Amino acid sequence: MSGVLNILFVGVGGQGAILASKILSHVALSKGWDVKLSEIHGMAQRGGSVVTQVRMGEKVYSPTIEQGEVDIFVAFERLEAYRWAHMLREDGKAIVNDQAIAPLTVLIGAAKYPETILDDLTKCMKNLVIAPALDLAREAGNAKATNVVLMGLLAATMDIPLEKWIEALEAKVPAKLLEVNKKAFMAGYEFAQQQA
């Protein structure tokens, strides 16, 4: 699969993966790349586990990513990182929001939310950044910008000029929310650089 970059977003319905994937694909298109993106709508929107697959490169055929073939893994929630960890390639990069959202099975006491997620992920993922994205978004002025904080973290792992990302934000984020989202994006970007 040389020449194609595979990026996987995993999270919980309602966390803003759709806006995130729009920003990413805008950036990829501005580079003149071929892009394919696949996500499943429908029942998953009701608080279920949500997966968005983005592939970019010279020429992309399949819209879906195979197990163990993800180059950059962005988890919007830690349990979802745990669930989809097997998708990451051995030398792939992972960005995990440390936020925990309990599924209903846990809320009603039918299952336990695993306690060792971050430790386990640290052991199995070679290039892992764990980020307090929700806190960074709150500091930037809006908890709902957690998705854009994660885009800032993603931008820091990719070899694409920062201006392209800012242009994408300007194109995809509603004007009245642009300033707070730019702040959130930079908070994520700078957090990643401090970790490096």
Q: Which is nearer to another protein, 105 or 193 (CB)?
A: 105
CA-based nearest residue to 78, from 22, 135, 119: 119
Q: Which is nearer to another protein, 57 or 166 (CB)?
A: 57
Q: Which is nearer to another protein, 41 or 176 (CB)?
A: 41
**Other Cβ atoms within 10 Å of 154 Cβ, number:** 27
Q: How far is the CB of 187 from another protein (least distance, A)?
A: 20
**Other Cβ atoms within 10 Å of 54 Cβ, number:** 24
- Report d(CA 53, CA 163) in Å as an integer: 24
- Report d(CA 173, CA 171) in Å as an integer: 6
Which residues contribute to the site for another protein (CB under 8 A)? 1, 12-13, 25, 29, 34-49, 60-64, 66-69, 79-80, 82-83, 85-87, 102-114, 117, 120, 124, 143
- Burial (Cβ within 10 Å: 0-12, 13-18, ≥19) of residue 64: exposed
Q: How far is the CB of 133 from another protein (least distance, A)?
A: 16
Q: How far is the CB of 174 from another protein (least distance, A)?
A: 17
Q: Which is nearer to another protein, 47 or 161 (CB)?
A: 47
Q: How far is the CB of 193 from another protein (least distance, A)?
A: 29
